[in-house]
Structure 1
C-alpha cells in the first residue's frame, strides 16, 4: 500500500548515488503506512558535485523533516549540518539528519549500532569473539566502534588503504576493552567476518577476502543489500558458514533511526522483527 500524501505530509529523503538497490524508502513507507503516520520517504539521487547546491535548496523546504544519508555523502554531510549527535563522536560520518523546526540540522550515525543490533537480533553475539572487519570507510568506521563496544575480544581491521585501517585501529583502541589492530583480510581464525566494503554490489567485483580460507564455524556478515546473495555469502554458505546479508543491519538502522527522528512508538512496535 502506498502512503497517503496530504498537504501536511512530513517529507524524509534518502540521498546518495546510486540508489537502485536502496531499501530504506520501501521499509520506512511500509512502517509509516502501518502506523497511519502522515509522512513519506522518497529517494533523491544526488551526486557528490551537486551536494552543496542540493543542501542550500532543501533548507528552504519547511516540511522536510529529515534525511537519510548513504554513499558517497556520509563524510561530506558533516560539513553542512549545524549540530552533531553524540553518536558521531570519533566516527567522522553521518547517515541521518534530523531537521528541527527552528531550521537547524542535526546529524547522527547508526551504521555501527544498527549492524550490531541486527546481528544480535539474529542471535549472533559479539561478546568475547575475534572479529575481522574489512573496510575502514564511513560504515566500516562506525561498525568498528560498535563492535568493540559490544564486547569483542579482538578486532582486526583491513582496508585497501593500510594507513586508513591503521588510523581507525588506533582510534578504536582508545575506547579500551578490546584488542584492536590493523591487519590482513585473511579470515582464518576469526569467529566473525564482516564485509563493510562496496565489493559485491556488482557481480564482477573481486572478493573482499579469500573466502576459501573460511571455516564452517565462522559467521560471515556482508552489509551489502541486494535481492540475491553476494558472491561472498554464496561462497561462505558453501563452506557451511552462518551468513547474514545487509537486511538485519538495515532493520537495526531503521529502528534506531526512527527513534532518532521522533518515531519511538513505531520502533517499539517491532521488537522482534519487521
Structure 2
C-alpha cells in the first residue's frame, strides 16, 4: 500500500518488513532510529509508546502507538487505528451521529477506536470487556486523561467535518462500561457494535459476546481480517446484520499515516486527496472498495 503511494508521489522511499524476533533486537533498531516511520501491531503498541520522545494525543489516550515517526531524530508516537476504523465505516455509509455504539475490548486498539467513535458524535459509547472492573478502570483512566487535556490546552478541533472536538466529546458524549455478561441489554440495543479484540485470529476463537443478542438492523464491525470468517462475522451475517471486517480499517489507518508523513516531512508530493489515497492503497492491497 505504502509503496504504491510513494510511486504515485514520485518518491524514492521504500516500505519493507524487518524481522526482529527478540526484544533486544527491536530495542536496538529503535535506538538507531534509522527509519522515517514504522508501523507496530499487537502486542507491541504499549512498548512503542514508551519508546517515543513525544506522544500525540491519539497514542496517549489509547495507551499504545501503532505508528512511530522520526522527525529529525525525535520519535513521535501516534495511534491511527481509531481514525482508520471510523473513516472506513463512514465511507461505507455508516452514521455515528446520535447512535448507540458498543466497543468490545480494553486494549490500545479498543481505546483508539473508542475515542474516534466519540468524536464522530454518537449519543453514547459503551466499553465492554471480560471484566466490569477492568472496563471501569480503563474508561475512567481515559476520561480522566481526556479531561486533563481539555483543561490544560486550547481545545483540539475536530479532525473531520461534523465531528466533535476534544472538549465537545468530554462534555457531550455519554460513556458507559460493563462486561459481556452485564451489558447484554446494551449489546442488544446498540446501533453499531465494534469488536476491537484479537478474537478470530486463531482457529477455534469464539465471538466475544453471546451472538444471540444480534439484530438484523445492527451494523457489526470486526477489526480482524484475512483469517477466514470469524465467529462474529458468521453470526452477524446469519442474523442479517450489516457486517464489515477490518480490511477497510487497515487502508483507512494507512491513509492517516500518509498524512502524518506529509506533515512531518513537509513533502508536498504526498498532498494527495484522501479518496485517491484510499483507492491507490486498497487496489495495491487487493481489497474491494
Please report the TM-score for the alignment, with normalisation by the length of structure 1. 0.81
Cα deviations across residues 88-128 of structure 1 (Å, max 9, x unaligned)? 2422111101112x321111111111111111111111111
Paired residues for 1:233-248 under 5 Å: 233-248=233-248
Contact 2:36–2:69 (Cα < 8 Å) also in 1: yes
Residue 3 (structure 2) aligned to one of 10, 29, 34: 29
Counterpart check, 1:157 vs 2:157: no
Partner of 1:83: 54
Residues in 1 aligned to 2:124 and 2:33: alpha-carbon distance in whole angstroms: 46
Residues in 2 aligned to 1:146 and 1:67: alpha-carbon distance in whole angstroms: 22
Quickly say closer, same or farther: Cα 1:269–1:233, change in 2 above 3 A: closer
Partner of 1:179: 174
Residues in 1 aligned to 2:273 and 2:209: alpha-carbon distance in whole angstroms: 35
Cα deviations across residues 185-237 of structure 1 (Å, max 9, x unaligned)? 33211101110001111220121121121000000000112153322112101
Quickly say closer, same or farther: Cα 1:92–1:61, change in 2 above 3 A: closer
Higher strand share: 1
Partner of 1:39: 13
Partner of 1:200: 200
Contact 1:134–1:157 (Cα < 8 Å) also in 2: yes
Quickly say closer, same or farther: Cα 1:89–1:265, change in 2 above 3 A: same
Residue 270 (structure 1) aligned to one of 270, 276, 283: 276
Bigger relative contact order, structure 1 or 2 (CA pairs below 8 A, ≥6 apart): 2
Partner of 1:19: none
Residues in 1 aligned to 2:274 and 2:176: alpha-carbon distance in whole angstroms: 37
SS in 1 for 2:194: strand
Offset, 1:29:
2.5
SS in 2 for 1:193: strand
* Superposition CA RMSD, Å: 2.1
Residue 146 (structure 1) aligned to one of 116, 123, 128: 116
Higher helix share: 2
Contact 1:148–1:172 (Cα < 8 Å) also in 2: no
SS in 1 for 2:32: coil
Contact 2:46–2:65 (Cα < 8 Å) also in 1: yes
SS in 2 for 1:136: coil
Partner of 1:51: 23
Cα deviations across residues 142-192 of structure 1 (Å, max 9, x unaligned)? 111111121111111111243331123224555231111112333211101
Unaligned runs of 5+ in 2: 148-169, 283-289
Contact 2:85–2:252 (Cα < 8 Å) also in 1: yes
Quickly say closer, same or farther: Cα 1:103–1:170, change in 2 above 3 A: same
Counterpart check, 1:121 vs 2:72: no
Unaligned runs of 5+ in 1: 1-26
